[in-house]
Structure formats: C-alpha cells, structure tokens
Structure 1
Amino acid sequence: MQRSLLFRMGIVVKSVLFGMFVIVAFRLWQIAPMLAIGRTVYHHSPGHCRLVEGIENGAEDIATLPNGLAFFSSGLDFPAGHLKYPVTGKIYTFDFNHPGSSFVIVYTNIAIIIKILDENPKELTIEGLSSMNPHGLSLWQNDKGDTYLFVVNHPPNGEECVDKFLFDAKTNSLVHKMRVSSTEHGFMEVVNDLVVVGDNQFYYTNFLHKQLPVAVQKFGMIAWGSVGYFDGQKTSLVQKGLLLPNGINISPDMKYVYVSHSGHAEILVLNRLSDGSLSLKNSIQIGTRGDNLDVDPITGSIWIGAHPKFMQIVRYASDPNTYKSASQVLRVNMKDGHFVNMTEVFADDGSFISGSSSAVYYKHAMLVGTVFTNLMYCEVK
C-alpha cells in the first residue's frame, strides 16, 4: 500500500515537473525571436554621417516643426535613479536648415589652425519648472501659430507626468503651462511617449505597469502595457493588454494612431474614433524592437529608431558608458493606414552610434537620437 502511494506521488511529481518544463520551454520559444541572439548587424548609412558635438547624454526622442526646427530630450535617467553617474535633464533644438559646420581660421605664430564651429544644438531655458527627467515628447501648433512642446517627465518623487510648455523663439526658452500627473489622474503607470492631437489632448503609452517588476514584464512577456488618452479633463485607457508599448505617433490626416508594440516587434495601426477611443486596424511586423516613431508630414512614412539586439540594449541600459548596443533606422511607407513597404535606412553594430531610439527626416537629412549617449546627423542621398 505504501509503495503504491509513493509510486503515485512520484508520477504526480514527475507530471508537475514535466508541465513546468513545457511551460518554461514554451516561454523560451516565445522570447527567442525577441532576444535576436544570432542576428548580425552590418553597418551601412544613407550618406555621410557624423556625431553632433556637445550631446553626451542622449537624445531619446526628437520632434520636428514644419520649418525644420527639431526639439529633442536629453539626460534621461530611466527608470529614475538607475544610472551610475549624474545627469541633468535638458531640452535642445537643432535647426535642419543650418546643420553644417562653419570654418574659422585662427592665425598663430607657428601655423594656421582651422576650427570647426557648429551652431547646433541649442539648449533651451526652462521656466517655471525646477528639474526635468525628460523622455518622449510631441509638438503642437495652435491656430494662432503658437508652438507648444509636451514632454513625458519622470520627477524624482516617483510621479509620472506630462508637462506642457510654450516655446518662446525670441528668448530660446520653454515656459511651463500645464502638468498632467499620476498624482491627480489615474491610468498613468510608467509613461514612455506621447502624441498630441489637440490644444490639451494627447495619447500616451504606458510602457510598463508599476505593480510588477521590470524583469518579470520584459522576460516573462506579461502584457500589462497600455495606451492612455487625456481628453483635456481626465485620463482613460483606450488600449490594454500590450507588451512593452513604446513610441506613439499619428498619421498626417490624424485618422490613424501608430504604436510601437516593441514586445512583439510590430507596429500597431489603430483607427482613431470621434470620442478619442481606438480600434485595431492592422499590425505591421518589423522584425526588430522599435522605439520612438516619427511621421513624415508630407509622405506619411513612419521613421523608426530601433534596437535590433535585445540583450545588447538591456546591457547598454544598465551602464551606457560601458556597453554598446546596435542601432537601426527603418522607414515604413504607408497609404491609408496600410503597409506599403519597408526600408532599413541605417544600421550599425554599436561601434559608431549606440542605442538608437529615435529618427526624424527633413529635406534629405536625418537626425538619429539615442537613449543615453549621443546624437547623429546624416545626409540622406
């Protein structure tokens, strides 16, 4: 009798262990493509590329006005407090119309020295806010021609915020006008990016959920991410059950919202309804972990800064000064919310530029930002 009981218990234990093995194996099979362990990244560029001097703490997200003036966030510490060195959050502008370097000849007693002076980029003065930990950003111009910059901000007190600024071109400053915070509004977990669709209306991505450890959500493929909407008064969730939703943007006709569903290496195309809610139209497999999205206002093409090597970006995020991460830029051509074709515009194994997170295009030129390190300017031939 005792032997029979032990035999049965042994079968149960073996069955449980086998079941656990199957679950773990299935999870590994699921995340294997995301890890991209065997992928090789070969360097190529659309023309001459150079690193922009003066930017050493990244350009996580970039947005451009129709006149070619680009705004970008720098000095991100995300998750807040994880970097091993101090950084200061800043917002800069870069003028695509004057990207080149000017040459100044300096005469000395021994030789003629040519110095290269570059007017770009310019740091903006921030008025009405004591500190910034800027992440995603989005521009909005109202009917009067005023320019507003909305920025995802991670203050040291643990809040998740979206701050609205008025851009003053005369004083080269940002004047704080409004804050939407997780203290006053629900449905703001770990906010990554946003896209503005009205004077005080915007969609935003909750990249992670605060109730679960980061590693569990990333490697356990726990789809607790979401897309939120602020209608000017209150926040609400308009898409749930997403795995690491990252960048977000909108088509030029404002009919379709694009979301970088990075956990599944795809772009979600969402119909924008009259009440602000979203419905899935289709998805585009891009085969890489897309970060921020920028939409060309003329062609409607989506420009994507991406991370082709998952484990590299994980190590890079832990210590950007020590580890390198491959970089990639994709251009996805769209028509009426449907995929047309896709081109890899730029790629690098991390030796030249590491951790690409954003890419914007303007008149045969391109800016590529990174999460924590530098900024690159390229000619696009």
Structure 2
Amino acid sequence: MAAVRKALIAAAVAAFAALFGRTFLKLKDISLASREIPVKRLNCQYLKNIDYGAEDITILKDGLAFLSTGLKYPGLHSFSDEPGKMYVLDLLHPKMTPVELQIKGQLDLSSFNPHGISVYEDEADDSIYVFVVNHPEHKSQVEIFRFVEEDTLMHLKTITHPLLHSVNDIVAVGAEHFYATNDHYFHHEALQLLTFMFDLSWCDVVYYSPHEVRVVAGGFKSANGINISPDRQYIYVSDIMDHEIDIFRRNEGEHPIDLVHVDRRTGDIWLGCHPNGLKLLKFDPEDPPGSEVIRIKNIHSERPVVSLEYGDDGRQLIASTVAVPYEGKLLIGSVFHKALLCIL
C-alpha cells in the first residue's frame, strides 16, 4: 500500500510539474517575451501633472480630453500610494496642460481607483456624462458623473452588480446605459492562474441599463478594452490574452492589446499595446516594458491595414495602454508611468 501511495504521489508531482512547465511556456508565448521591440518615436512631449499613469483617455469632438490616472491594479507596479485622480485637457488651448478635476458629491475619494472611462454626450440638453470604472479596495463598480464646470465632476450614481465583477473598460451608450468588459472570471489570484493553466475562456461583456443587466458576449480569455463605431452599429472588444479584436454588431493582431479607441472621423481603430507583457508583469526599472501604438484601417474589410504608429523600448514611455488621435495630435497613456502628447 505504501508503495502504491508513493507511486501515486510521484505521478501527481510529475503531472503538476509538466502542467506548470507548459503554463510557463504558454505565458512566455502569450506575453511575447522573446519579441524584438520596434522603435518608432514621434515628436512627443510629456503631459504636465501626469506622473502616475493615464490608463485611459477619451476625447470629445470639441477637443476636450478626460484622463484617468493613478490606477492600482493587483499584480502590476505603481509609483504612488495616493488615491487616483481624474484630469481634463483642452487640446485646443495653446498651453494644453491637464487640469485636475474636482469631484463633488457622495463618493469616497480616499479609495478612488479609476480604470477605464467613457463619455456620453446627451444631444437633448448638451449634458456630458463621464463614466469611470472604479476599484475601491479592489472591488469593481462604475461611477457616473456629470461634467458641470470647467474643472468639476458631480457624482451622480454608483453602480454595482454581480455581473460587473471584474470590470476593466466601459463604453457609454446612454445617460445610464453602457457596455463593460470583465477581464477575469475569479477574484482570487490562484483561481485566476487555474483558468489560465487550463485555457478557460470564461470572461465576458455585459450590457447595463436601469431596466436590465445581461451578458451579451462571452468566450474571452480576458476581455479588456471596448469601444463603439462612429455609426454606433458595432462594438469592438480587445481580448488581451488572444491578441485579437472581436467585432460585434449591436443588434443582437499579434499584440497584447490594452484599450481600444475609435477615430470618430475616419473609423480607424487605435490601440495602446504592450510589446512585451512579461516585462510589464515583473517590472524591472533597469529593463522596463516598452510601448506600442497600432492603427487599423478598414477593419470591416477582408484586408484591414495594420500599421505601427509609435514604438518605444521603455526609455521614453513605459507600458502604454491607450492612444487617442485628435486633429493631427496623438495622446498616449500608460498604466503607471506618464502620458505623451505627440504630433502625427
């Protein structure tokens, strides 16, 4: 009996070692750990006041940009223990300096941890609603604000729901309506590792309205960035583990892609990417993760055109997440570093 028990233990250890080895190799493959980082810099300058990342950026048609900064995300580096902040930047102003937004209303700012953001403009009364994914104490909730002055957000509502359990990004389609991505199925890191080890595609996209909340798309390894086409007919979702963009009609790449921005004028897709995901996870200041910006033209055609618009090895910008063009300019944000204003 003892010999059988030892044999079973040995077999279990060998199986676990084989599974762990396969998982490590898969992680290296998914994170593009051995990939050469292309360098293609633009005429850029750092945005003032942005020192701890600008994980997401969205721009209104009049050139007003909103930035979420100071994200603390489990497993990723952070340069600051301070709560996160929201900034606004007027791209038509000569100085183009981000201004911190004052947040008023019933919201605990001491635990404010902003992630993905989206803006909805109500054409009926020109109201501007700012949606922010918030992770206080590593929970997931969505905050809805109204932009009421040049530098003020009025907090209107906090939304929580069991289906919104690990929200990464959001795209607003009404004053209280949005689509949101869940980037993990489990909260516990050990269980997250198991879903990766067994190649489980359990993440999803959720539609929220005051009247219904439902899963509208599933089968993602890690649903990340989300955005909408200029004609409001299509939803684009990036699966950061599968290195791909999925396209969904609303009536029913080889990069770890973070956030998705759609050029409202041309319909082009702009992607902030991590050229080496393993460097992002282990973060070594002597060998930092680089940044990439990818542009996709004609995404609905049989032959989309993919181009590298910006590439850096981490010497200029660490861990880019989002890229947003506007009138010959390009804003590039990062997880925890800085933000760039570049000339295209």
The alignment's TM-score, normalised by the length of structure 1, stands at: 0.80
Residue 121 of structure 1 pairs with residue 98 of structure 2: yes
Tell me which structure has the larger Cα radius of gyration: 1
Q: What SS is found at the alignment partner of 1:76?
A: coil
Residue 293 of structure 1 pairs with residue 289 of structure 2: no
Q: What SS is found at the alignment partner of 1:33?
A: helix
Match of 2:185 among 209, 222, 225: 209
**Cα deviation, residue 95, structure 1:** 1.6
**Cα deviation, residue 87, structure 1:** 1.8
**Cα deviation, residue 376, structure 1:** 0.4
Q: What SS is found at the alignment partner of 1:208?
A: coil
Q: How does 1:67-86 map to 2 (within 5 A)?
A: 67-79=62-74, 83=78, 85-86=80-81
Match of 2:86 among 77, 85, 91: 91
Match of 1:196 among 164, 172, 180: 172
Distance 1:218 1:303, change over 3 A: farther
Checking the alignment, whether the CA contact within 8 Å between 1:164 and 1:179 is kept in structure 2 is yes
Which residue is equivalent to 2:213? 235
Match of 1:38 among 26, 34, 38: 34
Checking the alignment, whether the CA contact within 8 Å between 2:31 and 2:277 is kept in structure 1 is yes
**Cα deviation, residue 10, structure 1:** 10
Residue 348 of structure 1 pairs with residue 297 of structure 2: no
**Cα deviation, residue 147, structure 1:** 0.8
Q: Which amino acid letter does the alignment assign opposite residue 375 of structure 1?
A: A
**Cα deviation, residue 27, structure 1:** 4.0
Q: How far, CA to CA, are the matches of 1:301 and 1:217 in structure 2?
A: 36
Q: Which amino acid letter does the alignment assign opposite residue 55 of structure 1?
A: I
Q: How far, CA to CA, are the matches of 2:202 and 2:217 in structure 1?
A: 10
Q: How far, CA to CA, are the matches of 1:22 and 1:97 in structure 2?
A: 57
Q: What SS is found at the alignment partner of 2:245?
A: strand
Q: How far, CA to CA, are the matches of 2:271 and 2:294 in structure 1?
A: 5
Query: Where do 5+ consecutive residues of structure 1 fail to align?
Result: 101-117, 278-285
Q: What SS is found at the alignment partner of 1:73?
A: strand
Q: Which amino acid letter does the alignment assign opposite residue 303 of structure 1?
A: W
Distance 1:165 1:130, change over 3 A: same
Checking the alignment, whether the CA contact within 8 Å between 2:225 and 2:258 is kept in structure 1 is yes
Match of 2:241 among 263, 268, 282: 263
Match of 1:159 among 117, 139, 144: 139
Checking the alignment, whether the CA contact within 8 Å between 1:327 and 1:348 is kept in structure 2 is yes
Q: Which amino acid letter does the alignment assign opposite residue 60 of structure 2?
A: L
Q: What SS is found at the alignment partner of 2:39?
A: coil
Q: Which amino acid letter does the alignment assign opposite residue 162 of structure 1?
A: V
Which residue is equivalent to 1:103? none
Which residue is equivalent to 1:60? 55
Q: What SS is found at the alignment partner of 2:224?
A: strand
Deviation by residue 1:271-312 (Cα, 9 ceiling, x = unmatched):
212xxx5xxxxxxxx111010111000111111001010111
Which residue is equivalent to 2:335? 371
Query: Where do 5+ consecutive residues of structure 2 fail to align?
Result: none
Q: How far, CA to CA, are the matches of 1:304 and 1:78 in structure 2?
A: 20
Match of 1:146 among 111, 114, 127: 127
Deviation by residue 1:316-375 (Cα, 9 ceiling, x = unmatched):
3xx8x7762110001111354765211110010001110101110001110000111211
Q: Which moved more, 1:222-231 or 1:321-330?
A: 321-330
Q: What SS is found at the alignment partner of 1:312?
A: helix
Deviation by residue 1:48-91 (Cα, 9 ceiling, x = unmatched):
11111221111000000001111010111113998574122111
Q: How far, CA to CA, are the matches of 2:60 and 2:134 in structure 1?
A: 21
Distance 1:14 1:172, change over 3 A: closer
Distance 1:199 1:355, change over 3 A: same
Checking the alignment, whether the CA contact within 8 Å between 2:70 and 2:80 is kept in structure 1 is no
Q: Which moved more, 1:361-370 or 1:201-210?
A: 201-210
Checking the alignment, whether the CA contact within 8 Å between 2:28 and 2:34 is kept in structure 1 is no
**Cα deviation, residue 263, structure 1:** 0.5
Q: What SS is found at the alignment partner of 1:36?
A: coil
Q: Which amino acid letter does the alignment assign opposite residue 122 of structure 2?
A: N
Distance 1:11 1:227, change over 3 A: same
Instruction: Say how many residue pairs are matched.
Output: 338
Checking the alignment, whether the CA contact within 8 Å between 1:217 and 1:223 is kept in structure 2 is no
Q: What SS is found at the alignment partner of 1:87?
A: coil
Residue 50 of structure 1 pairs with residue 45 of structure 2: yes
Residue 180 of structure 1 pairs with residue 159 of structure 2: yes
Q: Which amino acid letter does the alignment assign opposite residue 29 of structure 2?
A: P
Q: How far, CA to CA, are the matches of 2:147 and 2:14 in structure 1?
A: 61
